[in-house]
């Protein structure tokens, strides 16, 4: 699954962090996940906690895109490969550099 052409809508989380729903603007579907580590697109549901994502880490060190429900981070093995979730790690090559786009 490629996630090019995404948009995010933000909502305030209870702990002060910002949660995002990641939507593919070409398909209109949102990034969803499950407890098994799968990531997939599905119709957007504002009350679906598996569709809430946050950015964690500093710009200098890179950022993780983390599921608010599972605490797992987005990961790909290689360019063009399917997206999945995995336990978050500061040493992971999946970390994103730079700020919001």
Q: Domain 6-81 falls in which CATH fold?
A: Trefoil (Acidic Fibroblast Growth Factor, subunit A) (2.80.10)
Tokens representing residue 13 in the block: 């989380």
The phi and psi torsions of 49 (rounded to 5 degrees) equal -65, -20
CB 65 within 8 Å of CB 74: yes
- Which pLDDT score, from 0 to 100, does residue 13 have? 44
Q: Each residue of 60-82: pLDDT tens digit?
A: 667 789 999 999 999 877 777 88
pLDDT > 70: percent of the chain: 67
Q: Can you give the pTM of this predicted structure?
A: 0.71
Q: Each residue of 29-55: pLDDT tens digit?
A: 999 999 898 999 999 999 999 999 998
Question: Domain spans of the chain?
Answer: 6-81
């Amino acid at each position: 699954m490629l996630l090019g052409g995404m948009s995010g809508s933000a909502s305030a989380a209870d702990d002060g962090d910002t949660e995002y729903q990641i939507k593919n603007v070409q398909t209109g579907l949102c990034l969803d996940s499950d407890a098994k580590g799968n990531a997939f697109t599905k119709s957007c549901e504002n009350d679906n906690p598996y569709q809430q994502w946050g950015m964690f880490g500093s710009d200098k060190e890179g950022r993780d895109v983390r599921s608010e429900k599972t605490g797992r981070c987005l990961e790909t093995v290689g360019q063009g490969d399917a997206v999945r979730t995995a336990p978050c790690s500061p040493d992971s090559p999946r970390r994103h550099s730079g700020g919001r786009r």
